[in-house]
Amino acid sequence: MKKIFLKSTYIILLMSTIFISCDDKLNITDPTTLGVDQFITDYASAKTALAQSYNEIQNTATGNQPVIVDFRMLTGLYSGELRHTGSFPSFTEAEVNNILVNNVNVSRIFSQHYNIINRATVIIRTMENVSDISNSQREEIIAEAHAIRAFGYSRLVKLFGGLPLVEKVFSLDGPDSKNTPRSSENDVYQYILNEISLAKGKISTSNPNTFLTNDAVEVLEAEIHMLMENYDLAENTLQGLIGKYTLDPSYENLFQLGNNSSSTIFRIDYNASDSNSLAFNFTPTGRLEVGPSQSLIDTFEAGDTRISLIPNSNNLDAAYISKYVDNAEGKDLPYIYRYADVLLMYAEVLARRDDPNAATYLNMIRNRAGLSDIGAFDSSNVVDIISRERSSEFFGEGKRWADIKRLGLAPTVIDSKIGINFSSKQLLWPIPQNELNANGSISQDDQNPGY
């Protein structure tokens, strides 16, 4: 297999190396100014390095919006959950399921997740040589870095399929580290599961829910098993989480500023200094770059209280999603995993094997939304029901594309868009052309089919 050179991550680490060489200008009391491999000397500095990894999850390049915003908008448009109400052509490409190889937002998603992966990789590599730390502390730091790396790859594989599995970095391994073969999609899934196995049960129990925890890693593991259709393994993973959390009694309160819901498993931290632009892009008090589609609005059953977070739902031109509310300072804390993820995945795996208890967990979600218990819920109707329930629960949270793709509904959903005809190439996004061009030894043959 030919090599893919991850240009953007290489440049970042190269610049880090350049800055580290300027000792006369380096403030060594501030580890954030150093390359990760340069400042980890003990447990405290290793924890700081991990915190900087979460900054990579939270942030994106200077002058651009956080990559989590790009991810939620583009996947929502691509899946037909959102409609494009703004003017940026890069988002129009997602809405019409025709993403070009030079789409700037897609390039940012690709490169920023490799920034996450590379920072975690440096931590893993560096910890091998740190002496002023106990074995248990070393294991804890390395485990969390493996979890971060698994998270980064899990976000990319859903969009791009096979990926380069990078375990080298320029600042440690030199120029040859740029050459990494592209692995198959299944190999990436297996790699993620191996990373998870290296992390499970070893992450600090003091981590807040804005960091990866042992529970968050288990939800990630279950999610990967669902994508691989390993439903029995997903069930085994989810069992230990059932009853460990509770649903917030009010769906609307989940998305209020300052809400520390008992259902939170993993969310991204933002404040007035490190802000996001979710409300700016999702609401009319900002730019309103995206709004709910009619197909999303039509998903809701009569009486479903969750639709209250789509104000003006009876007037598509005025409708918007109000899950993100802080346009002034961007302090919304977007969820990655909450207890509803666990309950709906668990309900699905039980239904797939015709377990009569499946409806119990589904009804917990429905009842909170003001809906009555569902009747039959088993292998005969699991796809239709779980698709609708997940749509009504997670709209605007960046989950819809992965859901319809794994449930086999992508062709139907894309064909239902006016003027769009499904083609198999639409199941994967193109590897950004600038990433392909960065290595002269690869050709267009390394691109995803059809691009």
- pLDDT the model gives residue 1: 37
Backbone angles phi, psi at 98, to 5 degrees: -140, 65
Specify the pTM.
0.91
Rounded CA gap, 343 and 389, in Å? 11
Q: Could you give the C-alpha distances from 387 to 5, 380, 393, in angstroms and in order? A: 37, 13, 10
Predicted local confidence at residue 169, as pLDDT: 77
Residue 164 contacts residue 223 (beta carbons within 8 Å)? no
Beta bridge partners of 264: 338
Using DSSP, state whether 145 is helix, strand or coil.
Answer: helix
Nearest to 57 by CA among 68, 42, 71: 68
H or E element in which residue 153 lies: helix 135-160
Q: How far out from the chain centre does Cα 411 lie? A: 23
Any alpha helices (H) in 271-374, and if so which ranges? 278-282, 294-299, 339-352, 358-368
Q: How much helix, strand and coil, in percent to the nearest 5, is found in the chain?
A: 55, 5, 40
Report the pLDDT value the prediction gives residue 36, as an integer from 0 to 100.
55
CA separation for the pair 140, 87 (Å, rounded) = 46
Tell me the CB-side half-sphere exposure of residue 84, using CA atoms within 13 A.
Answer: 19
According to DSSP, residue 301 is labeled P
Predicted confidence at residue 446, as pLDDT, reads 85
Other C-beta atoms lying within 10 Å of the C-beta of residue 172? 16
Residues present in the chain in total: 451
Angle at 59 between CA 91 and CA 104, to 5 degrees: 30
Identify the pLDDT of residue 38: 67
Between strands 180-181 and 290-292, the pairing is unpaired
Q: State the CB neighbour count (10 A cutoff) for residue 105.
A: 21
231 CB-near residues (< 8 Å, 6+ apart): 225, 348, 349, 352, 353
The confidence score (pLDDT) of residue 31 equals 40
Per-residue pLDDT of the chain (451 residues; tens, 9 = 90+): 333 333 333 333 333 332 222 332 223 334 444 455 567 999 999 999 999 999 999 975 445 689 999 999 999 999 999 999 999 999 999 999 999 999 999 999 999 998 999 999 999 999 988 999 999 999 999 999 999 999 999 999 999 999 989 887 766 777 766 678 789 999 999 999 999 999 999 999 999 999 999 999 999 999 999 999 999 999 999 999 999 999 999 999 999 999 999 999 999 999 988 899 999 999 999 999 999 999 999 999 999 999 999 999 999 999 999 999 999 999 999 999 999 999 999 999 999 999 999 999 999 999 999 999 998 999 999 999 999 999 999 999 999 999 999 999 999 999 999 999 999 999 999 999 988 887 545 678 889 999 9
- Could you write out the three-class secondary structure of 80-127? CCEEECCCCHHHHHHHCCCCCCCCHHHHHHHHHHHHHHHHHHHHHHHH
Inter-CA distances, 88 with 275, 287, 316, Å:
21, 11, 20
Handedness of CA 27, 29, 30, 33 (dihedral sign): positive
What domains are there in the chain, each with its CATH number? 1-64+101-204 (1.25.40.890), 228-313+320-415 (1.25.40.390)
b/e 211-226 (16+ beta carbons within 10 angstroms → b): bbbbbbbbbbbbbbbb
Residues 20 and 26: beta-carbon distance below 8 Å: yes
Under DSSP, the state recorded for 395 is T
What are the angstrom distances between the C-alpha of 43 and each of 137, 142, 214, 226?
7, 11, 19, 35
What b/e sequence results for 299-310 when a residue is b if at least 16 CB atoms lie within 10 Å of its CB, and e otherwise?
Answer: bbeeebebbebb
